[in-house]
Amino acid sequence: MSIAAVILAAGFSRRLGRAKQTLVFAGETLVERAVRVAREAGLMQVIVVVNREAEFCEALERRGCVIVMNELAEEGMASSIRRGVSAARVLRASGVLLITCDQVGLEVGHLLELSADLGRIAGSGYAGRVGIPAYFPAADFGDLLVLHGDTGARELLKGERVVVEERLAVDVDTEEDLARLFRQ
């Protein structure tokens, strides 16, 4: 089975006011951290979905990542999911792990637990909700490919298996989030 990581890195970080993908935390950029964790989880196919302003593509290509440009990034997260899942389908992935680059609490063990049942959708539980990172088998790619807007795959996770990891509640959307992260 070949599970692909789809790292969603096409956001414009408007609330933060600068590209969060390139923020350095613990010696690596947030997008590099997401790639490293995916690789350490054994995911050899790492697809990074970027926007037209991304300046980090060459470095990720050197690390063996597949870079996918999302020309519709303004639409929101769903457009990035569609682009990443389309690329995973071309690579004949048996499933995808959807990952954002701003969840600094992401760990290898959590990705392995999400994808432990290869035939079943699984989402991450934190802060009283279920979201991504999330695992989707190839049989569910069609549902991901028709998503629209900025809500992502949350509706598809309702009633599915949940792997709780409260550390994922820490993400970087604002300067306050960033300051809180560095105080930890």
Q: What is the CA radius of gyration of the chain?
A: 15
pLDDT band, residue 56 (cuts 50/70/90):
confident
Tell which residue, 55, 60, 53, 58, has the closest CA to residue 7.
Answer: 60
pTM: 0.90
Q: Do 5 and 97 form a contact (C-beta atoms < 8 A)?
A: yes
Pairing of strands 129-137, 122-126: antiparallel
Q: Do 65 and 84 form a contact (C-beta atoms < 8 A)?
A: no
Domain limits for position 166: 3-183
Higher pLDDT, residue 31 or 171: 31
Q: φ and ψ at 38, to 5 degrees?
A: -60, -45
pLDDT (0 to 100) of residue 165: 96
pLDDT (0 to 100) of residue 14: 60
pLDDT band, residue 131 (cuts 50/70/90):
very high
Q: Do 135 and 114 form a contact (C-beta atoms < 8 A)?
A: yes
Question: Average pLDDT for residues 115-124, to the nearest whole number?
Answer: 97
Structural domain total, the chain = 1
Higher pLDDT, residue 5 or 11: 5
pLDDT (0 to 100) of residue 78: 95
Q: For residue 54, is pLDDT > 70?
A: yes
CATH no. for residue 157? Answer: 3.90.550.10
